Amino acid sequence: MINQQTAIYRILDANLDRAREGLRIIEEWCRFGLNEKEMATTCKEMRQELASWHSSELRTARDTPNDVGTDVTHPQETERENLPDLLQANLCRVQEALRVLEEYAKLYDVEFAAAMKQMRYQVYTLESQLFGQSRLQLLVKSSLYLVTSPVDNFFNVVESALKGGLKLVQYRHKDQDDLIKLKEAYKLKQLCNNYNALFIVNDRIDIALAVNADGVHLGQTDCPVGLARQILGTGKIIGKSTTNPQEMAKAISDGADYIGVGPVYETPTKAGKKATGLEYIRYAQSNATIPWFAIGGIDSNNIRDVIKAGATKVAVVRAIMAAENPTEETKNLLKNF
């Protein structure tokens, strides 16, 4: 039987390695994937701090040949579906290792334990920053935004659009029971993950939280942007619908990450809402300081007019949801940018 002290040393040694390995994986993406120097530096500094606690006393307790856990694995560890899953898995790995270090270090060195506790909080912050940065970068790169509407073969239509290159989906289903909304949102979130696309929920912050959506889109009569930010945190995207310069200015000052500009043309999606026309597009082109999407009745017949007026990003509903071939229609719309 291994004595207690040796066992504790081995636990500390293994989890110091585990935390450093996970941080290195995160650091590499921050450095090479995001070109984010500050986050990469944070990862490096945490790795160096962990190394400073990794004493020879702990290292010499290592006994890899007799470690009964070296061949224990789980199917989920053998593959990752996409980049977000890879990053999330390694962040969880680091957080779990730091928690183990914090607890067992209380039996070894209380200063060590306190340092691990503070580092665990740092990793939580890093997680929010990392996913927030990745989401915002993808938002900025996205020129086409699909807002869903109820149709036959709903999921097939959305996936077909994703196959066509779509990178931003908003789930909107006003007249549906909450349980069905939750199930549909969850399935759409999985689809978007599979295609490395952003998933936004219309109006419902609770559903966005429940399915870990990338953010929420708010109307003028929905929850204020500031309150939504308090609930969702800094790592999530918050969009806001605007129909005039005053609403635009308020959305920007309130801290929205992007805005909808429209409706450009009259649309049944916003029944009774007066069209803003191309003049508001021209205003947004000159005055908006955050990403913005022209929206409202836009399709392949008028998208060139909207782009000529100054739009570089467009949101559509029926153009894709009602298309005979959503994949080809998505490709055709994207060719305009």
Question: 146 and 129 in one domain?
Answer: no
Domains of the chain: total: 2
Last-in-domain residue among 86, 116, 136: 136
Q: What is the pLDDT along the chain (337 residues), one digit of tens a residue?
A: 568 999 999 999 999 999 999 999 999 999 998 888 999 999 999 999 999 999 999 999 998 877 777 665 655 555 777 788 899 999 999 999 999 999 999 999 999 999 999 999 999 999 988 888 889 989 999 999 999 999 999 999 999 999 999 999 999 998 889 999 999 999 999 999 889 899 999 999 999 999 999 999 999 999 999 999 999 988 899 999 999 999 999 999 999 999 999 999 987 766 667 899 999 999 999 999 999 999 999 999 999 999 999 999 999 999 999 999 999 999 999 999 9
CATH number for 61:
1.20.1260
184 shares its domain with 262: yes
Q: Are 197 and 122 in the same domain?
A: no
Long-range contacts of 241-247 (CB under 8 A, 24+ apart): 241/217, 241/295, 243/273, 243/276, 243/280, 244/276, 244/280, 245/280, 245/283, 245/287, 247/220
Q: Are residues 115 and 19 part of one domain?
A: yes
Q: Are residues 178 and 322 in the same domain?
A: yes
Same domain, yes or no: 191 and 243:
yes
Asked if 277 and 191 sit in the same domain, the reply is yes
Do 180 and 275 lie in a common domain? yes
Same domain, 152 and 124: no
Domain final position from 73, 103, 136: 136
Residue 303's domain spans which residues?
A: 142-334
Nearest CA to 251 among 263, 240, 238, 265? 240
Catalytic status, residue 241 = yes
Considering the domain architecture, whether residues 129 and 189 belong to the same structural domain is answered as no
Candidates 134, 142, 241, 313; catalytic one: 241
Q: Among 20, 93, 167, 172, which one carries the catalytic annotation?
A: 172
149 part of the active site: no
Last residue of a domain, one of 77, 108, 136: 136
- Identify whether residues 29 and 60 lie together within a single domain: yes
Helices 277-287 and 245-254 pack at an angle, to 10 degrees, of: 40
Structure tokens at 323: 């298309």
Asked if residue 120 lies in contact with residue 102, where contact means CB atoms within 8 angstroms, the answer is yes
- DSSP labels for 316-332? ESHHHHT-SSHHHHHHH
Q: Are residues 100 and 187 in the same domain?
A: no
Kindly compute the dihedral angle of the four CA atoms of residues 142, 35, 226, 245, in this order, to the nearest 10 degrees.
-50
Query: Which CATH number belongs to the domain containing residue 162 in this structure?
Result: 3.20.20.70
Which member of 18, 120, 181, 270 is catalytic?
270
Report d(CA 297, CA 262) in Å as an integer: 9
Q: Can 167 be counted among the known catalytic residues?
A: no
